[in-house]
Amino acid sequence: MLLTKHIKNIAVILFIFSANNICAQETLVKNSSIDDSLINQKIKELRNSIDEYDNATFDFGKINYAPDSSFKILTIYGETCGAYCHNTFQTYIYYKKGEKIIESDIQMPHLSEITDIIKFKNTDSTTEYLIFDKRYVRPRSVETGTEVSFSHLVFFKGEPKFNEINTFNKEGALFKELNVYFYSSENMCMTGDESETPKGVPPTLSYQPKTMTITYEHAQISEELDYPCKYITGTYRYTNGIFINN
C-alpha cells in the first residue's frame, strides 16, 4: 500500500552533503530527455503499485538540481481521495557514483514545490545545501493553511543519510526529528481587520548565513476557548554539524 497524506503541504527542507574530498564530489549532467524518461518510469511504477484500496493517482513529476549539480530530487505528484481529495507526493534523490547514477534508498521527506536550493557551506570534507519547499495544508475540513519545513541530509563517503534535528516542545522535552514543520492556520487566523491578523501568516523560514541560523515564524489557532490565534517564532542554529532549536 502506498503511504499518502491527507494534506497538501508547504515546506522548507535543509540538506547537507558530506564527502571525503569535495573535489571528488561527482556531478550530474542535466539532460531533459533523461529526466523525462525517469519521470515517466517512476509514474508507471507508482501506478502499477496502486491497488483498489489506495484510491490514488499519479500524473506528473518535476526534477530539481542542486546548484552544483551534485544531486537531483525527483518529485512525483498525485492525488488521493477519501471524504475529500488531497495532493500526495513521492520523492527520490539521485547522485553520481563512478559511471553510475544512484537512486538513494534512504527515507525521503515528501517534497512538493521546491523553490530554491542554496549551497551554504563548503569545506574540505563537507558541502551543505539549504533546500526550500512549500506546501498547502488542510489538517481538517474547516481549516486550511500553509506549512514550511526543513531537513538535514548528509553524504558520508559518498553515501547519503539524514541527520536528526534537535527540537524542544513548550515543556522542554527533547525530540530528534528528521523533518521540522511550521504550520500557519491561515483561514482561521487571518481576519478582515489587519490589526488582528497575527504576524507570520503565511509561515516563513529564513536563513542567516553569517550566524548559520534558521528563523521561523508562524501563526496557529489554539485549542483554548474561542480558538485564539497565537504568533510563534524561534530559531535553529547550526552547531557541530546539526541544527538545534534555541
Residue type for 209, please? P
Given a cut of 50, is residue 84 above it in pLDDT? yes
In the chain, what percentage of residues exceed pLDDT 70? Answer: 82
Q: pLDDT band at 52, cuts 50/70/90?
A: low
Q: If residue 38 lies in a helix (H) or strand (E), which one and from where to where?
A: helix 32-49
Cα dihedral across residues 175, 138, 186, 59: positive or negative: positive
d(CA 164, CA 240): 12
Give the 3-state DSSP-derived string for 97-113, with helices as H, strands as E and coil as C: ECCEEEECCCCCCCCCE
Q: What Rg, from alpha-carbon coordinates, does the chain have?
A: 19
Given a cut of 70, is residue 237 above it in pLDDT? yes
d(CA 146, CA 232): 14
pLDDT at 17: 45
Closest CA to 216 of 172, 194, 184, 193: 184
Given a cut of 90, is residue 138 above it in pLDDT? no
pLDDT at 92: 92
pLDDT at 3: 39
Closest CA to 207 of 127, 131, 108: 131
Is the Cβ–Cβ distance between 91 and 108 less than 8 Å? yes
Given a cut of 70, is residue 198 above it in pLDDT? no
What is the CB-side half-sphere exposure of residue 220 using CA atoms within 13 A?
A: 14
SS3 24: helix
* C-alpha cell, 83: 471524504
First CA to last CA distance, the chain: 38
* C-alpha cell, 234: 524561534
Q: What average pLDDT does this structure show over 149-177?
A: 80
Q: pLDDT band at 135, cuts 50/70/90?
A: confident
Q: What average pLDDT does this structure show over 146-167?
A: 78
Angle at 51 between CA 49 and CA 53, to 5 degrees: 140
